[in-house]
Amino acid sequence: MTDSFLDRLRALVGDAHLVTDPPAMTPYLADWRGRFTGRARAVVLPADTLEVAQVVQACAEARVPIVPQGGRTGLVLGSVPDASGAAIVLSLRRLNRIRSIDAANRTMTVEAGCILEDIQQAAMEGGMLFPLSLAAEGSCTIGGNLSTNAGGTAVLRYGNTRELCLGLEVVTAQGQVWDGLRGLRKDNTGYALRELFIGAEGTLGVITAAVLKLYPQPKAALTALVALESPRGALALLSLLQDRCGAALTGYELMSDFCLRLVATQFPDLPKPFATHYPFYALVELSSNESEDQAAELVETAVGAALDTGIALDAVLATSSGQALGLWKLREHIPLAQAAAGKNIKHDISLPVSSIPEFIERTDSALQAAFPACQVVCFGHLGDGNLHYNVAPPDGIGHDSFLSHQDAVNRIVHDSVAAMNGSISAEHGIGALKREDLVRYKPRVELDMMRAIKAALDPLGIMNPGKIL
């Protein structure tokens, strides 16, 4: 028996770009961490915005749910279908053109399926910088970055993805195309529709293209790894660097000693900057639009002051791009080391920067009281208040057994976050994984407004159902 709906999609995108064979669909159905595999009626790979619109129109008429998908690097089950098999997966990976670069306006117009690293490279070849940078940049797509409002390591200086986007092209839940690709820094003509779709995780429409901000390429970027006694020392160092370096401070990452021990165990060939171990470390990056000498003077003077005042215990300054890359690899390999070591309970949280030391002290203590000898993998973007605060089982305890305590661990961590006016999701989104927690911690009036927006823009409820709300 033929399936008339799938036949219609096949006619729109071509037989080669409609995947219904179960083994061929499998990569599109599993989440990056390998914890969940959903089911789908088909995987559809349109070639351009028009085909996306036609596919969405067909789905709206047939009341078929749609799960938009980018590079499949998400961590909260936001881009995988549920177990019902009712939805189609709408992969945007063929929409991968860089449409234009406007050097005078310092903007680039790109399609949603462009790999982040390719966008960075295109900007660099044009003598400019697209500053969004994260560990998955070699495989994540800009559409996914926009849909989750991704953060990364340069938020301190340049902001989240939301701040890096001037305009969007979106296919609505009715299959209409909204062309909002305006490279304007000022546009005060009504509701900020762009803001609704950024961070909405595909629940309101499908982002197909975007106008991105570009910046001057820095003349130099210098990296230092600073050893610290505690998160309070890290906060003091951040304040010192901000006072002395201002906007030149582009990256500030916190890592516990346990993180670096984990990396050293799993990746023994990576650098070992210090002969001894210290409780915490800050990875610092300074950029200069003047010269390498100016950047070097800034970082040497600031770090020197931190050592002289006892804020810092030790420091290593990279003297080459290779050394700087080695220090950044230590930070970037923490999630990979965690995955190699086994399963853990992940948290992507944000807090007022001033509250982070107290949060770590309070939550570490609460977790140890509830789960003695559990291991906290604490690292993240301290400069913008975003911690990846992950909890691994005690030595000798099976990872699957410890995961049975996930709800209890989450409650301790998220209650602590809520008590300090933080957020349970800083940059990963809500997806399906944190949907129930969102209800617990979001004020009812906020949830009601979100539901009203969802109902207005997607009255049939076909856009990424079961995600966020």
- Which DSSP string corresponds to 291-352? -HHHHHHHHHHHHHHHHHTTS-SEEEE--SHHHHHHHHHHHHTHHHHHHHH---B--EEE--
Residue at token pair 């410890």: 402
Q: Is residue 449 part of a domain?
A: no
Compute CA 289 distance to the chain's CA centroid, rounded to the nearest angstrom.
Answer: 27
User: From the CB of residue 6, how many other CB atoms can be counted at a distance below 10 Å?
Assistant: 17
Say yes or no: 310 and 392 in one domain. no
Say yes or no: 47 and 102 in one domain. no
pLDDT in tens, the chain (469 residues): 468 999 999 999 999 999 999 999 999 999 887 778 999 999 999 999 999 999 999 999 999 999 999 999 998 999 999 999 999 999 999 999 999 999 999 999 999 999 999 999 999 999 999 999 998 899 999 999 999 999 999 999 999 999 999 999 999 999 999 999 999 999 999 999 999 999 999 999 999 999 999 999 998 889 999 999 999 999 999 999 999 999 899 999 999 999 999 999 999 999 999 999 999 999 999 998 887 888 888 889 999 999 999 999 999 999 888 999 999 999 999 999 998 999 899 999 999 999 999 999 999 999 999 999 999 999 999 999 999 999 999 988 888 899 999 999 999 999 999 999 999 999 999 999 999 999 999 999 999 999 999 999 999 999 999 999 9
Say yes or no: 308 and 246 in one domain. yes
Residue at token pair 């067909």: 58
Give the integer Cα–Cα distance in Å for 164 and 132: 8
Q: Is residue 256 part of a domain?
A: yes
Instruction: Please choose, from the candidates 87, 83, 73, the residue with its C-alpha nearest in 3D space to the C-alpha of residue 147.
Output: 73
Please provide the size of the chain in residues.
469
Residue-level pLDDT at 456: 98
Tokens representing residue 78 in the block: 């936001």
Say yes or no: 352 and 371 in one domain. yes
Q: What phi, psi does 174 have (nearest 5°)?
A: -95, -5
Say yes or no: 160 and 226 in one domain. no
Q: Is residue 39 part of a domain?
A: yes
Q: Is residue 450 part of a domain?
A: no
Please, are residues 252 and 317 in contact by the beta-carbon 8 Å criterion?
no
DSSP-derived pairing of the beta strands 220-228 and 280-288: antiparallel
Strand ranges across the sheet with 205-213:
98-102, 107-111, 205-213, 165-172, 177-180
Q: What is the CATH number of the domain that holds 69?
A: 3.30.43.10
Say yes or no: 232 and 313 in one domain. yes
Q: Is residue 464 part of a domain?
A: no
Last residue of a domain, one of 304, 335, 366: 335
Please, are residues 19 and 91 in contact by the beta-carbon 8 Å criterion?
no
| Residues contacting 280, CB < 8 A, separation 6+ | 227, 228, 229, 230, 231, 233, 234, 254, 255, 256, 257
Last residue of a domain, one of 318, 335, 352: 335
Interhelix angle 231-245/356-370, rounded to 10 degrees, is 160
Instruction: Please choose, from the candidates 223, 427, 255, 252, the residue with its C-alpha nearest in 3D space to the C-alpha of residue 335.
Output: 255
Q: Is residue 460 part of a domain?
A: no
Structural domain span for residue 364: 342-444
Q: What is the CATH number of the domain that holds 259?
A: 3.30.70.2190
Say yes or no: 110 and 39 in one domain. no
Residue-level pLDDT at 2: 60
Tokens representing residue 62 in the block: 């047939």
Tokens representing residue 208 in the block: 């197909």
User: From the CB of residue 339, how many other CB atoms can be counted at a distance below 10 Å?
Assistant: 14
Q: What is the CATH number of the domain that holds 428?
A: 3.30.70.2740
Q: What phi, psi does 188 have (nearest 5°)?
A: -105, 60
User: From the CB of residue 190, how many other CB atoms can be counted at a distance below 10 Å?
Assistant: 6
Q: Is residue 71 part of a domain?
A: yes
Last residue of a domain, one of 216, 241, 257: 216
Say yes or no: 261 and 318 in one domain. yes
Strand ranges across the sheet with 88-91:
18-19, 42-44, 88-91, 66-69
Longest dimension (CA), the chain: 78
Say yes or no: 330 and 230 in one domain. yes
Q: Is residue 462 part of a domain?
A: no
Number of domains in the chain: 4
Say yes or no: 417 and 373 in one domain. yes
Residue-level pLDDT at 434: 95
